[in-house]
Amino acid sequence: MKPTYLLIFSALLGLSLSGCFDKPRNCNDFKTGRFEFTTTIGTRIETSVFTRENDIEIETFQGKSDTSDIRWINACEYIVTKRHPKNIAEQKAIHIKIRNTEPRAYTFEYNAVGTAKKLQGRVVKVD
């Protein structure tokens, strides 16, 4: 009888532990393309559209375009640095980590390099 209990225990343990692992992320699917990011600023919902080509990103927000350089740390993390910052806040590089991917979207966390406060967002691929 003991081997039966051991087998059932092992099976249940294996099933419970398999739920602890993250789903696979397909981050390479998002290194290039056209994307939308929607966020709330004050009481307004704002949408930014950007095109990414591996190591460069061109964003259009409120009718104005800006170019940033992308440095990939690994398949799911990168640093964004504005080429032409207009103020001190824009001079700070942003660290982005893709947390989960879907076929046409990803969720991410981000923070200014050197700061601990992390924010979250979701990007949708539109092309």
Two structure tokens written together for 17: 């532990």
Domains and CATH numbers, the chain: 24-125 (2.40.128.490)
Strands 44-53 and 94-101: unpaired
Instruction: Determine contact, residues 96/108, Cβ cutoff 8 Å.
Output: yes
Q: What pLDDT digit, counting tens, does each position of 37-92 carry? A: 988 778 988 899 999 998 999 999 889 999 999 999 999 999 999 999 999 988 99
Please say if the pLDDT value at position 12 is more than 70: no
The three-point CA angle 78-105-61 to 5° equals 70
The pLDDT, as a whole number, for residue 40 is 79
Q: What pLDDT digit, counting tens, does each position of 109-118 carry? A: 999 999 999 9
DSSP strands (E only) in the chain: 32-41, 44-53, 56-61, 64-74, 77-82, 94-101, 105-112, 119-125
The pLDDT, as a whole number, for residue 111 is 93
For the whole model, what pTM was predicted? 0.77
